Each structure stands twice: as C-alpha cells, then as structure tokens.
A and B are shown apart, each in its own frame.
Chain A
Amino acid sequence: MAVVRFLAVRLMVYVLVVWIGVTIIFFVPRFVPGNPVEVMMGKLLSQGTTMDPVLVESMRKTLTELFGLEGTLWEQYSSFLSRVILTQDFGPSLSYYPTPVSMLVARALPWSLGLLLTALLTSWLLGNLIGLLAGYYNKKNLSKLIETGAMIVYPIPYYILALLLVILFAYIWPIFPFVFQVSGTPGSWPWLQSVAYNSFLPLVSIVAVSLGWWIISMKAMVIDTKEEDFVQYARSRGVSDHKIMLGYVARTAILPQITVLALSIGGVFGGALITEILFGYPGVGSLIYKAILGSDYNLMLGTISISIVAVATATLVLDLIYPFIDPRIRYK
C-alpha cells in the first residue's frame, strides 16, 4: 500500500513538474520584448529591401493572424494547452511557417539522441572504469598521470578542443570529413557507415571533454570508499582484491555516478548546440537556438517541452529504480 501511495504521489509530482515547466516556457518568451512577427519583418527590412509602410503594415497584420498571436495571453494559453493535451500538436513553426513543429523535432531528435547518448554512455563507461582503476591504485604513477591528464583536458573550453580536433583531423591530417555530409539511403548499410564516419569527430569531441569529469569524480569517490569500514572488514576477512574493487568499492562509488548519468540522459534531449554548429550536425540544440533567436514560440515550446518531459521522466525512473541498485534505499 505504501508503495502504491508513493507511486501515486510521485506521478502527481511528475505531472505537476511537467505542467509548470511547460507553462513557464509558454509565458516567459511572451514577456520578453520581441515577437516572431517583428523578427520576420526585421529580417526583411535589414536586408535593405524596399518595403513601403503599407506593405509593412499589411504583412504585420497577416502574420499576426497566421501565427495565432491574436487574443489575450490567457486565450492563447488555453488554446495551446487543449491543442497539446488533445492532439499533442505544437502547431506550425513560426520561423519556418507553415512547417509543423513536430516535423522539425522528429527530424532533429534522432540525430541528437544518437550522438549524445552514444557519447554519454561511452564517456560514462570509460571515465568510470578509468576512474575506478586510478582511484583504487591511486599510489601508482600511472594513476597520477591519468589524473593530471584529466585535469588538463577537463577545463579546456569545449569549442577550443572541438576546433582543435577539426583542424588536426579534418584539415592538417584530413582523415575525417571537414563538414557533416551523410550519403546513402537512410537505413542502408552505406548510410550507417556514413553516419558513423561523419559523427566520429563530434563524438570524440564530446567524449574528450566529458571524460575528465567522470575520471576525476569517480577516482575521488573510489579513494574515499576504499577506506570505508566495510571495505577494511572485507579485506581483513581475506576477500580477494579483485572482488573488493568490483563488488565493494565500485558498487558503492558508482551510485552517485548513476544519478548524474540518469539526469544527463534527460539533458540529451536538449541537444548540443556548439557541437551542432561547429560540425554542421543536425540536432535539437540548434533548433532551440534558432527558435529563441526567431522568437518562435511554438518551436520553443515543442523543443524545450521535450527536454522538460525527458528530465522529469529520467528523475522519475531514477527514483523508481534506485532501490534496486542501492539496497540501503527502501520505500517506506
């Protein structure tokens, strides 16, 4: 019964979090000076095009109608909520009118998920493994060398590191493509090869900057954990070193890393803006960025809502599965 109550409360919180998040995303852009109509008009006028005031006024009126920006904020909000709840439709993108937001998101999201999930899992597994070894054998010179290397790479701004990779491996020694150019029929083997080849540098750039953090944090936790009483007790009982490292130290030290991983998985749905721009990689990050620059309310709602739902879901799932990975936690 306690579990059912816990689940019910947790689900209610989940729905509430999503609703509050989406509501904030609905209202905040509308309170910021600037709207999609003015952005579109500004873009035209800034090119020096000859637009007499009659044309300006008529375009402004038509676009305001087309974009559904007439009526009070409350009317727009209730219309938005009913549309999203009943039909899961975020409407047309205002910057790319009349293209539906769902079409833009559906095109970008798989790319972001494919790249960022792979990068996240790679760096998480690799970083924690290296961190575990470096922490457990922290007196060895190699451990110190690894930590020094991680501390050197970790603070390098992502853009600099990624650009360096491009210059080194796509320009000076051009073994990877300079620009993201996927070829072949989507889903085919040549296409998959092309995706893997084109995504390699973006992947390495993300792994390189995130790896350091996983190594440093895991190493610190392992050093602390291996001095805990239960580890000392196991050691005094003659448990093998290998088993102590994996079964005692790693299993305990990994718990906070799992929490961070779960939350990071939610963040994956927000894309990776700098990676996408630098490598010309399609993804949700640049979509969100363009939505913000263009004051594209619908596109902002569509893309950021997915992130909100993803992070909230990741937190929910983490809460639900935590007792299975940490026996010290129990639902009461």
Chain B
Amino acid sequence: MKKFLTVALLLVLISVLSACAGAAAPATEGSDAAPAGDEMTFVGTPRRETLILDNLGGTLERPDFFNPYAPGVDMGRGFHEVCLDNLWEINTTTGEQFPSLAAEMPKALNEEYTSFEVKLREGIYWDDGVEFTADDVVYTLQLGLTNDKLPIHGWSIDYLKDVRAVDKYTVVIDTNRSQPRFSKDLGATIWDATRFWPVPKHIWENQDPTTFVAFPPTCIAQYKYSKHDPNGNWTLWELREDWERTAVGMVAGKPGPKYLLWNFVGTEEKRILAMINNDVDILQDITPESMEVLNNRSDTVRAWHAGFPYADFDDPCERGIAFNNSQFPYDQWQVRWALALATDIKNVSLGTFAGMLRVSPLAVPPVAAVQNAYHKPLVERLLAMELPDGYKPFDPTFATAMAEIFNEQGVGGDLPTTEAELIDLFGVGWWKYDVDQAAKLLEEVGFTRNAEGKWLLPDGTPWSIAINAPVDFEVQSGRLAFAVADSWSKFGVDASVNTMTGGSFWNASSTGEYQAGSYWPGCAIGPDIYPNVSFWHQKFIVETGQPAPGNQHRHKSDELARILDELEKVTSDDPRNVELSKDLLMQMALEMHWIPMFGTSKFVPVNETYFTNYPTADNYYEGPWWWWSNFKYIVAQIEPKQ
C-alpha cells in the first residue's frame, strides 16, 4: 500500500508539473498536425525518419553482444525484432504461422512425420551481401548437434537425427521421433522461436559459438546495425538499402521507417514524460495510472483502444493462482474449487487493474483467436458443467456486470453496448462468487470454522495461505495476488502475499516449494494450443524440491494425460486437434487444475506525432507486440506522418 501511495504521489507530481510545462510551452499539436521536418534525434538522425521505441530491457550491460545462442544475450533492443529472422513467423491476429525465410510451410516426407523438406526463399541476402542458402540452415542446426556447451545441445540431439542440404534452397531434416508440429518447433510462436535462428555460416564457421560476440551483427531481416551507446542505453538500426532482398521485403512489399532507435529513458515516470515530450513513439509496458497521465497530458498519444478500457487484452499468457497440487490441502479438488468460488472476481478485477481485464475460466488465455476457438464455443459446456454434487459453478454475466459497474462509475462511455461486444471485451464469464458453496466443499473434506469465522484445517490448526508474487516486475501478477488475498481473507482464510524477486519466484515455481503463486502458466496464441499445454502431462512430475522440466504444479491426472497423448499425434490442421483441445480444457476446468483468472492487459501506448498506422483495436492488422520477433512485419506497416 505504501509503495502504491508513493507511485500515486509521483504520478500526481508528474501530472501537476507537466501541466505547468504545458502552460509554459507551446500547445501540443493535434494529431492531424504535421511535425516539424528538421528536428534531429540525439543520435543524429532526422526525427521524422526515426521511430523511437522504449527499450524494455533497460540499460544493457553488454550492448555489443549479438550471439543468439549464448545464454547471456539480450535478444531485445531490436536484435531479434528487426535483425534476425525465422523460417516461419507468427501472425498474432490469427495465431497462425506463415513462411518468412522459408518459401512455404514445411512438407512432411513421410506419414510418420519424421522427415521434412524445408524450401527457402530464393534471393534473400545477409546485410553483407552474401546470399542466404540451405548451407546456413544446415550449419546452424549442426551447431546445436555438435557443440555440447550450447544450451540448445540437449534438445538438438534429442530432436534431430539428420540435417542435409538437397540443393541451394532446400533442406531435409530428419527427426528422431514423430513431430507433427515441426514448424512450431523451429519457427516463431509466442515472442520468438526458442530453438533456431539461422546464422551466417561464412561469419560463424571459424568461431567458437559458445563465446562468439558476433559484433557487429550480420542481419538477415530488413534492418542493419548502425551504432549503439557503449553505456547500453540505446541501439540504432538502419533500413537496408537492399531491403527488397529480405523476407519482409518480399512478403510485406514495404520496409518501415528509415531508422529504428531502441532507447532506455529510465524509470516509468521518466518514460511517461519522454512520451508526453514526443521523445518516444512506442512505450512497451506501463501501469493504468501512467496511462491515465498520458491520456490527460497528450493529444497525440493513444493506447490500444482509443477510449476506456485503453489496454490491449490479447497478450498470449493469462494470469491466475496456481498451487502445488501434490501438497496437502491443495491436492484436493474441493479445496481448489472452494478457493475459486470464494474469489470475488469482479472486485479482484477492479483491485488489480481497475477492471481493465478480460476474464478467463479456461487454462488458455482469452486472446481473440483463442477465445473464438475455445472460450465462446465452450460456453454451453461450461454452463452445463457440474461438480459431483450437481452444483453448476459457471456464471456468464461477468461482462455485462462489469459494464454496469463502469457505467455507474461514469467511465463506461466508450464501452460497446451489445452483449456480444462486451463479451469480446471482458470475456465469456467466470465462476460464481458463492461463499456458501465454497464452505460446503471445504466442510466436505473436514475443514471447520472457529468462533471468529476463520477456517481451520481438518486437524484443527488454522489454515493460512501465502501467495507468491513477483516484486518489481510483472505488475499485474503482483497486484492480482493482493486482490485475491483480500478476497480469500474476507472468506475467512488467513491469506497473505509473499513478494519475491525473480530468482526466488521462479525457483519456487520449479521446485514446487510453495503453497500458492500468482503465476501465468496458461499461454497460447491460436487454436493449436498443444505446444503450450503439452508440459502439463503427468509424466513430467518430479518430487517437490526437485526442479521440474514441466508440470511445475505437479498435477496428476490420468484423464489429462490420455488427452495429451492423443493430441501429440495429431497435426495442427487436423480437425480433431481443436476438439481434443476443448476436451482437455474442460477437463482442466473440472479438476480446477489451477485457477485461471484474467488475460494479461498491456498498456502499450503509441505517439502519433511523427508516425501513423500503428496497429490498434480499430486498425487490427497485428497485436501491439513491439518486443516480439514479428515486429519486423509490424514496423513495415508503420508510416511516417506526411
């Protein structure tokens, strides 16, 4: 609370002082006004030709390091966004992959899905003028196979059997096991690929890949490295003169601004001031309070939605509360369900991000493509779903109820009016807030209440829950933990929040040494959710205390394992894929595997002073994922203001 008040105080301070500045300075130009043409950036490039992005990674300690296979590399600041490229990239509106460096999607050469032909685009060049060929792909895959010091080595020898160039633009890859989702394994899905980024053989072949600095980077996407701050605050990229000889040039047909500058300004307060001052065009992630300051102080800044609720709700990971399901009392479904029904989800939403959240009862995020494939079609099954005592827990009224709250608060003027549109915005619904049913479930398994109404474990000792939450990163999860703890406390559970730094937070998740945690294990971007849920298989469960390779929540379920085994065998485009996935999600909900709550809301404001045609809710050609590898395709659409 003290920290929140401090932040609020600072934001008020900024608001007041920036208002003073506004009074003293010339009025901010309206969004239709053209910017001055002769301004230069601090790196010496014309401002109107330089798109300036907030550097999410902060100050870099090693800004001249560009080896994507070294564990300590920073893939951001433009490196994976506009310098590297993937065989297959992701379209974030559909969640489907499309060929980028590859000429087409991979072709399976046998029915077992153990051999694939990958055709490369012809005429793609590295920025040093050398052509990108099958030799580069083969060389890069061989790196993982032959270098046991590379983190990718273990996966490579497990996955790859043989890699060979058939001709200059064709590679054949054999795998050790059936891999019906081959393109997902080697291409981008969420954020980027994680196993394979082609590197130039002619640059790398005489280097030690574990320590090679790769500076300056040799780029294959439409931008090339220009210069960077030795102190790590900024990196400048310049459009290649031969951008037409890149995958983006061929697919999109246009490149994007001449210069891209990733710049770290400092703390959130300074980042906001920089945007008000038109010194940054794209901010990567801010709090709702900061968004309000921007709305009040700038006519040229806008969020994903032009009006309330501003945020983009389509981040591909959802937040909720997870447990170590192998530990008492969370190994009992009644306890997990009781906690879900004791969660006042509307208040939790308001307490977390002022209600600017989309709710999700399923274990995959409610991003548009996923919501259309699963959440909406499953509403009937959710309504019919019964707990063993016949109780129907689903409540489909969340969206309309939130709209009523916002209208009462006087902030709902920008909201849609139809129920269908409200569901698109706030989600299909969640579980009922029913403390009586929650109490009934707990009493079934021996819990009792003392005279003060506090819950006691079956052995009569007080029941307390510590919810792990990240401190100083992932603000939404941190706030969610406090809001949920408040809800559970009102129900009579002694709930508290245990704020942790990244090291402790992730270690607890991996080893299972925690009771509850505000984590975000449910990720997906399109209808093919298997790559994102396969790790829930019970075969990956290890003892609490040991680092888990998957199934960090140690949830054991024969039924889920059976469905996952079936899903593993079907391809992405097989109609059974979605049907089996629906069964999986319903089963996870019934078992209350973990308690999914909200998709992630991202306040990703853009400044329209110098550039236009950013993706927005009303110009939805891509999601606002400035820090993903597919940004190279987004930036191609961003245009200088005339």
Chain A positions within 8 Å of B, measured between CB atoms, are 32-36, 38-63, 65-66, 93-99, 104, 107-108, 111, 160, 163-164, 166-168, 171-172, 177-182, 186, 276-280, 282, 286-287, 290, 292-295
For B140, list chain A residues within 8 Å (CB).
none
Query: CB within 8 A of B531: which of A52, A108, A278?
Result: A52
CB closest residue in chain B, given A57: B549
For B269, list chain A residues within 8 Å (CB).
163
Chain B positions within 8 Å of A, measured between CB atoms, are 10, 13-14, 17-18, 20-21, 24, 42, 59, 61-62, 65, 70-72, 148-155, 158-159, 184-185, 189-192, 194-195, 210-211, 229-234, 263-267, 269-270, 273-274, 277, 279, 316-317, 474, 501-511, 513, 520, 523, 531-532, 534-535, 540, 547, 549-551
Contact A95 B72 (CB under 8 A): yes
Query: CB within 8 A of A46: which of B59, B316, B520, B550?
Result: B520
Contact A104 B62 (CB under 8 A): yes
- Give the total number of A-B pairs whose CB atoms are below 8 A apart: 219
- Min CB distance B43 to A, Å, is 8
Query: CB within 8 A of A32: which of B191, B316, B503, B523?
Result: B503
For B194, list chain A residues within 8 Å (CB).
44, 49-51, 55
CB closest residue in chain B, given A166: B270
For B520, list chain A residues within 8 Å (CB).
46, 48
Q: What CA separation (Å) do A34 and B470 show in the bound complex?
A: 13
**Which among A94, A98, A108 has the highest number of chain B CB atoms within 10 Å?**
A98
**Known A53-B549, A99-B62: A42·B510 in contact at CB below 8 Å:** yes
Contact B233 A181 (CB under 8 A): yes
For A108, list chain B residues within 8 Å (CB).
61
Contact A163 B10 (CB under 8 A): yes
Contact A98 B265 (CB under 8 A): no
A-B contact list, 16 entries, CB within 8 Å: A47-B191, A48-B523, A50-B194, A55-B155, A58-B158, A61-B154, A62-B150, A66-B149, A66-B151, A96-B62, A107-B61, A108-B61, A163-B10, A163-B267, A167-B273, A282-B231
Contact B189 A54 (CB under 8 A): no
Contact A58 B155 (CB under 8 A): yes
- Min CB distance A265 to B, Å, is 24
CB closest residue in chain A, given B64: A99
Contact A98 B513 (CB under 8 A): no
Contact A62 B148 (CB under 8 A): yes
Q: What CA separation (Å) do A186 and B230 show in the bound complex?
A: 10
CB closest residue in chain A, given B10: A163
For B270, list chain A residues within 8 Å (CB).
163, 166, 178-179, 278
Q: Please give me the 7 A-B residue pairs with the lowest Cβ-Cβ distance, nearest first.
A: A58-B154, A42-B506, A34-B503, A53-B550, A48-B523, A53-B549, A295-B503
Contact B502 A43 (CB under 8 A): yes
Contact B190 A50 (CB under 8 A): yes
Contact A163 B13 (CB under 8 A): yes
Query: CB within 8 A of B540: which of A53, A104, A171?
Result: A53
**Which among B72, B149, B195, B274 has the highest number of chain A CB atoms within 10 Å?**
B72
Contact A54 B159 (CB under 8 A): yes
For B10, list chain A residues within 8 Å (CB).
160, 163
For A276, list chain B residues within 8 Å (CB).
59
Q: What CA separation (Å) do A48 and B92 show in the bound complex?
A: 13
Q: What CA separation (Å) do A66 and B540 show in the bound complex?
A: 24
**Known A53-B540, A98-B70: A178·B277 in contact at CB below 8 Å:** yes
**Known A46-B474, A98-B211: A282·B154 in contact at CB below 8 Å:** no
Contact B503 A54 (CB under 8 A): no
Contact A54 B155 (CB under 8 A): yes
Q: What CA separation (Å) do A121 and B191 show in the bound complex?
A: 48
Q: What CA separation (Å) do A287 and B231 show in the bound complex?
A: 12
Q: A62-B153, A163-B269 are known; give 20 further A-B pairs, CB within 8 A.
A: A33-B503, A34-B501, A34-B505, A47-B190, A48-B190, A49-B190, A52-B531, A56-B535, A58-B152, A98-B211, A99-B72, A104-B61, A108-B61, A167-B18, A179-B233, A179-B264, A282-B231, A293-B503, A294-B502, A295-B503
**Known A46-B474, A280-B265: A38·B70 in contact at CB below 8 Å:** no
For A32, list chain B residues within 8 Å (CB).
503-504
For B277, list chain A residues within 8 Å (CB).
171, 178
**Which among A57, A95, A292 has the highest number of chain B CB atoms within 10 Å?**
A57
Contact B59 A280 (CB under 8 A): yes
Query: CB within 8 A of B505: which of A42, A63, A177?
Result: A42
Contact A172 B192 (CB under 8 A): no
Query: CB within 8 A of B152: which of A38, A59, A160, A168?
Result: A59
Contact A171 B17 (CB under 8 A): yes
**Known A32-B504, A181-B233: A278·B266 in contact at CB below 8 Å:** yes
Q: What CA separation (Å) do A143 and B152 show in the bound complex?
A: 68
CB closest residue in chain A, given B525: A48
For B150, list chain A residues within 8 Å (CB).
62
- Min CB distance A279 to B, Å, is 7
Interface residues of A, dominant DSSP? helix
CB closest residue in chain B, given A287: B61
- Min CB distance B459 to A, Å, is 27
Contact A40 B504 (CB under 8 A): no
- Min CB distance A316 to B, Å, is 31
Contact B507 A35 (CB under 8 A): yes
- Min CB distance B398 to A, Å, is 24
CB closest residue in chain B, given A51: B194
Contact A48 B502 (CB under 8 A): no
**Known A50-B184, A171-B273, A280-B266: A180·B510 in contact at CB below 8 Å:** no
Contact B506 A277 (CB under 8 A): no
Query: CB within 8 A of B502: which of A42, A167, A178, A182?
Result: A42
Query: CB within 8 A of A167: which of B14, B152, B531?
Result: B14
- Min CB distance B10 to A, Å, is 7
- Min CB distance B277 to A, Å, is 7
Contact A96 B61 (CB under 8 A): yes
Contact B231 A34 (CB under 8 A): no
Contact B507 A292 (CB under 8 A): no
Contact A98 B509 (CB under 8 A): no
Contact B210 A98 (CB under 8 A): yes
CB closest residue in chain B, given A163: B269
Query: CB within 8 A of A49: which of B70, B191, B502?
Result: B191
- Min CB distance A61 to B, Å, is 6
Query: CB within 8 A of A38: which of B24, B62, B232, B510?
Result: B510
For A164, list chain B residues within 8 Å (CB).
13
CB closest residue in chain B, given A295: B503
For A50, list chain B residues within 8 Å (CB).
184, 189-190, 194, 523, 531-532
**Known A55-B155, A56-B549: A39·B540 in contact at CB below 8 Å:** no
CB closest residue in chain A, given B627: A47
Q: What CA separation (Å) do A60 and B540 show in the bound complex?
A: 15
Q: What CA separation (Å) do A60 and B510 show in the bound complex?
A: 11
For B274, list chain A residues within 8 Å (CB).
178-179
For B192, list chain A residues within 8 Å (CB).
49
Query: CB within 8 A of B506: which of A34, A57, A61?
Result: A34
Q: What CA separation (Å) do A43 and B473 show in the bound complex?
A: 11
Contact B65 A96 (CB under 8 A): yes
For B511, list chain A residues within 8 Å (CB).
33
For B42, list chain A residues within 8 Å (CB).
177, 179, 181
CB closest residue in chain A, given B189: A50
Q: What CA separation (Å) do A179 and B508 show in the bound complex?
A: 37
Contact A282 B234 (CB under 8 A): no
Q: What CA separation (Å) do A45 and B505 show in the bound complex?
A: 13
Contact B506 A97 (CB under 8 A): no
CB closest residue in chain B, given A279: B266
**Known A280-B59, A294-B502: A54·B158 in contact at CB below 8 Å:** yes
**Which among B13, B61, B158, B194 has the highest number of chain A CB atoms within 10 Å?**
B61
Contact B279 A33 (CB under 8 A): no
- Min CB distance A244 to B, Å, is 46
For B474, list chain A residues within 8 Å (CB).
46
Contact A63 B72 (CB under 8 A): no
Q: What CA separation (Å) do A287 and B61 show in the bound complex?
A: 8
Q: What CA separation (Å) do A179 and B279 show in the bound complex?
A: 10
Query: CB within 8 A of B503: which of A35, A63, A65?
Result: A35
Q: What CA separation (Å) do A36 and B510 show in the bound complex?
A: 13
